[in-house]
Amino acid sequence: MDQMGRIVVKDAEEILSCPRRTAQLHLQKLKKIKMIKATGKGKSTAYIANK
């Protein structure tokens, strides 16, 4: 997670010690329940906490 509170899939992979696809699925679930929102597209997608 960077200083702006954003997280990318690579960060989630490292934090969770899981494969990239698993990290993506976890982030998608959090997005679906509106805990986070996505910014950007493709590999540059970052996720930030929903306020």
25: pLDDT strictly greater than 90: yes
In a domain, 36, yes or no: yes
4: pLDDT strictly greater than 90: no
Domain count, the chain: 1
Beta strands per DSSP E along 1-51: 6-7, 36-39, 46-49
Report the C-alpha gap between 8 and 10 in whole angstroms. Answer: 5
Q: CA triplet 31, 12, 9: central angle to 5 degrees?
A: 70
Higher pLDDT, 7 or 4: 7
Global pTM?
0.85
In a domain, 1, yes or no: no
Report the C-alpha gap between 3 and 31 in whole angstroms. Answer: 20
Report the C-alpha gap between 48 and 5 in whole angstroms. Answer: 6
In a domain, 31, yes or no: yes
In a domain, 12, yes or no: yes
In a domain, 23, yes or no: yes
1 pLDDT band, cuts 50/70/90, is low
In a domain, 38, yes or no: yes
Per-residue confidence (pLDDT) for residue 47, from 0 to 100: 96
Question: Which structural domain range is residue 20 located in?
Answer: 6-49
Per-residue confidence (pLDDT) for residue 36, from 0 to 100: 95
In a domain, 24, yes or no: yes
